[in-house]
Amino acid sequence: MNPFDPYFERINDYVDELRGKNRTVRVWFAGKSAPTVNSSVESRWPRVLKEDTAVELGGPLTAGTVFFLCTDDVSLIYDGRITLVGPDIIETMDRILPFGQVVLVAGPTLTKGINPELEKELYASGKIPGYMVRSTGGHIWSRVSYQARDDGFSLKLLGCAILDHIRTNLTAVSVAEILFFTSSVNDVQELEEIGILVRKVAHDLRRERIQQAADGAFQCELDGACDICPNSKICAEI
């Protein structure tokens, strides 16, 4: 069994638990290509300054978590499903929202080696003008500009963009879904407790992969950028 498989059910159970607590839970389904936001802002790597920010998602002043699950069992995923627990961007007056993002992917030919590639494709921030992401160590901090919000940015649109980005860049992924959580700090913190366990699985898989290549065949995926590499501690230990 894939080591991530038990956590698929755990995520679904957590959503049901929050639904039972009367959290607002909505579900959409993305098409095979993502919609676009009409914006005058054009940038592959958008920068959103503080004074231009309508809403911050996650970050140092609230709770934020991001992680992924992958498997070769496609039956564990509802392809294209986007789940939002909590308010969307235009439904709140809050300038800062707690934020959780969980990406689920599957494909019959997926192997453990896809983990580093998937980590690089979790955000698709360059696809939506006015949406900027900063993320380190499983914690996410993103900004939505006033312009993007006025042009129709929503978490449904973000979900469509990320799913489309993953399908485009990871051909081994045949089905994918995504979940967002904005309901409360406590809800995101409890989600992070699951994330900690999931990241430990990912850490153990990276360690196993690096040890298997300890004969010198291992190739650094980030060209020696150890300060941002998730493998740096494992490399140092080995």
Using the Cα atoms of residue 153, residue 157, residue 163 and residue 169 in order, give the sign of their dihedral.
Answer: negative
Closest-CA residue to 100 (of 213, 15, 218): 15
Taking 50 as the pLDDT cut, the residues of the chain under it are: 34-44, 224
In this prediction, residue 235 carries a pLDDT of 60
Give pLDDT, residue 217. 55
Contact between residue 183 and residue 24 where contact means Cβ atoms under 8 Å apart: yes
Distance CA 234, CA 197 (A): 17
Q: Give the CATH architecture of domain 5-237.
A: 2-Layer Sandwich (3.30)
At residue 12, what are phi and psi to the nearest 5 degrees?
-60, -40
Residue 213: the pLDDT is 59
H-run or E-run covering 213: none
State the pLDDT at residue 14.
98
Residue 183's closest CA among 36, 63, 32? 63
Burial of 215 (0-12, 13-18, 19+ CB in 10 A): exposed
E strands, 80-222, are: 81-85, 96-97, 99-106, 131-136, 139-145, 175-181
- Give pLDDT, residue 219: 58
Which residue in this structure is represented by tokens 């950028």? Answer: 225
What pLDDT was estimated at residue 98? 98
Cα–Cα separations (whole angstroms), residue 213 to 92, 203, 208, 219: 49, 16, 9, 9
Nearest to 149, CA basis, from 97, 88, 82: 88
